[in-house]
Amino acid sequence: MAEELIINNTATKAEKYQSLIPQVEALVTGEPDLTANLANIASALKYGMGFFWVGFYLVKEDELVLGPFQGPIACTRIRKGKGVCGTSWANAETVLVPNVDEFPGHIACSSDSKSEIVLPAFKNGEVALILDVDSDQINDFDSVDREYLEKLMRIVEKLL
């Protein structure tokens, strides 16, 4: 198990992800506990990429329930179809929001959150959990984030 992340802070965003994702994969290899793995993944993303907030919401019956996260306190429960996370769950797809104030029905867990990317992970063809990543900057996420975070979610799916 890794004890620290090695990320070059002068690297491009893509280079940071290329360095981070194999380290995350090594971090979770051999650890069977989902909560422990999600906690370490959230921490690796928060500190490796410098995100404002990173966390997981787990599907429990008819709600998303807050799981491991890094950052300010967060909304505990989100209904299907509500906000960015609930929309990602309902549509079973990645949702990238350049400006959360322009997203209809956005749930403001923190007024400091300005942009967001939310990605689902699947188990048996159904959304099992959501990765929510927030920035305190408008338009902070792009196709690079989408590409590499979707690769990360394939690692998460192996843990489910």
In the structure, what pLDDT confidence band is assigned to residue 112 with cuts at 50, 70 and 90? Answer: confident
Q: Which residue has the tokens 């309902």?
A: 90
Select from 7, 104, 94 the least CA-distant residue to 49: 7
| Angle between helices 13-28 and 143-159 in degrees, nearest 10 | 0
140 phi and psi angles, rounded to 5 deg = -90, -15
Please work out, in degrees rounded to the nearest 5, the angle formed at the alpha carbon of residue 94 by the alpha carbons of 89 and 96. 115
Structure confidence at residue 6 as a pLDDT band (50, 70, 90): confident
For residue 2, the model assigns a pLDDT of 55
Quick one: angle between helices 34-49 and 13-28, nearest 10? 160
What confidence score (pLDDT) does residue 49 get? Answer: 96
Q: Give the chain's mean pLDDT.
A: 94
Q: Where does the pLDDT of residue 9 fall: very low under 50, low under 70, confident under 90, or very high at 90 and above?
A: confident
**CA-based angle 89:93:95, to the nearest 5?**
90
What does the chain come to in residues?
A: 160
For residue range 73-102, what is the model confidence (pLDDT) as tens digits?
999 999 999 999 999 999 999 999 999 988
Close Cβ partners of 1 (under 8 Å, ≥ 6 residues apart): 26, 27, 30, 31
Instruction: Show the domains of the chain with their CATH numbers.
Output: 13-159 (3.30.450.40)
